[in-house]
Chain A
Amino acid sequence: MRDRVVQATVRALQRAETTLPHWVLQRIQEAADRESRPLARQHLQFMLENVRIAGQTSLPLCQDTGLTIFHVKIGRDLSLDFCLSEAIAEGVRIATQKIPLRPNAVNPLTRKNSGDNTGPGMPDIILDYVDGRSLSITAFPKGAGSENMSLVGMLNPADDPFDFIVKTVAERAANACPPLFLGIGLGGSFDLAARLAKRALLNMPGNSQEELQLLERINSLGIGPMGLGGDTTALGIKIETAFCHTASLPVAINFQCWANRSATEIVQ
């Protein structure tokens, strides 16, 4: 079982780094079809061409192969006689050599690179329990360009959270490789809002009325692909909420670039 987890981790990373999920490609293609600005359209088409090249060569579509983040769903009836996080870390080390991945994980103070994308706290594993006996591993490599633009705001309950989101995206989108996918965490506490925002990205797609209205407001900014103008600033928004303190309004925005990479492997 341990070896199957290691191998599933390698396969999930391999697919996540060299392809994009079908629904992501579809949204980029749809945006390219309806863009009114030629430069924006060319950018979107070049992005699709880049994904095609990565698929053909089996090489990472972006040189920023990301921090290794995993969403693991584990069946309640499953018992493991090994350390799951260590098995996934071993998969990351193998994948770093095999795919290969750029070594990105460094000590935050000395900035020394471990060379294998692992270290204290890395890989980051988000764990959920589900019914049954299966184990699913989703690789969600997260590049720094978009992650660096993310923000948690501790708003006054009298503030409008959607105004805050639009303003933040307007100021930061150009650096985050738009068109973006935006994970929004609304409510909870300081850290819960951030976790909700990450989960929102993992749980995409979203199409509630609030999400679609927010998407429209953001696209009407005209920031466009790579911040150079156009109709497409965001390709998707998902909001996850939790109850918060009556005196608080935490809002977290987790930016995700157009290359919204993820791949899931099921271990039986």
Chain B
Amino acid sequence: MTKYHLHTPLSEVDVEKLAAGDVVFLSGLLFTARDKAHALIRREGSPVSLDGAALYHCGPLILDKKVLSAGPTTSGRMARYTDEILGLGVRAIIGKGGLPGEPFRDRAVYLAYPGGCGAAAAEQLRVSGVHLPELGMAESIWVFEAAEFGPMIVAVDSHGKDLYLEVRRSARIGEED
């Protein structure tokens, strides 16, 4: 388990060196996106370049452009979009609960931020801008300036290792019946 302090945009080298179980603190720009933003990106394309981006599955609580609470939302709801989102150049997806690992192979990592920890997350984030504000507070694409955002766990790495899958296997989930 290695601890990394990384800066966005992320490079191929950044992604390549991360292994499942490593701890990451991220600085630089993060882009939030959840259900509606993903659907809109599929329909119309992304309003912003996501090349090298860290995409944060988050519907924050914001007041007057100040981040009040901004922990991760359940990534599983966006699983159907993973392949095309990573195809736009996203190199890290941040969320909770995990995503199927296959689309991440050789191109990106999944970083788990502790769920429910919105107050702690807010202290590490500042609003830098917003896209698609018409989608409402939770569903807009917020651009955050992150300062040492973490601790995040590399839960799915780009080499085929998936911590959630390992936990499921050791719990023998899906092997009954």
* Chain A residues with a Cβ under 8 A of chain B: 39, 42-43, 46-47, 49-51, 53-54, 57, 59-65, 100-104, 111, 113, 143-145, 148, 167, 170-171, 174-177, 221-229, 257-259
Contact = CB atoms under 8 A, between A and B. Distances in A.
B49 to A, nearest CB: 26
A102 B114 contact: no
Nearest to B139: A113
Given A222-B167, A223-B171, A227-B97, A50 B138 contact: no
Nearest to B60: A63
Question: Which of A65, A100, A101, A227 has the most chain B CB atoms closer than 10 A to its own CB?
Answer: A227
Given A100-B63, A102-B137, A103-B137, A258 B116 contact: yes
Contacts of A46: 114, 117, 120, 151
18 contacts: A50-B117, A59-B61, A59-B68, A60-B68, A61-B118, A63-B58, A63-B59, A63-B60, A63-B71, A63-B122, A102-B137, A145-B73, A145-B96, A170-B171, A171-B174, A226-B115, A228-B167, A257-B115
B136 A50 contact: no
A170 B173 contact: yes
B120 A229 contact: no
Interface residues of B, number: 44
B81 interface: no
Interface of B: 21, 36, 58-61, 63, 68-71, 73-74, 76, 96-98, 112, 114-123, 136-138, 151, 153, 155, 163-164, 166-168, 170-171, 173-174, 176
Contact of A145 (B74, B119, B171, B174): B74
Contacts of B122: 59, 63
Contacts of B138: 102-104
A259 B155 contact: no
Contact of A60 (B58, B61, B168): B61
Q: Which 4 A-B pairs have the closest CB atoms?
A: A54-B119, A177-B115, A63-B118, A50-B117
* Most chain B CB neighbours (cut-off 10 Å) among A54, A59, A143, A170: A59
Contacts of A57: 119
Contacts of A53: 119-120, 123
A241 B136 CA distance: 41
Contact of A259 (B116, B137, B176): B116
A104 B34 CA distance: 14
A242 to B, nearest CB: 28
Contact of B114 (A171, A175, A221, A226): A226
A63 B70 contact: yes
Contacts of A50: 114, 116-120
Contacts of A60: 61, 68-69, 118-119
Contacts of A170: 171, 173
A98 to B, nearest CB: 11
A229 B167 contact: yes
A59 B114 contact: no
Contact of A47 (B60, B117, B121, B153): B117
A228 B112 contact: yes
A148 B74 contact: yes
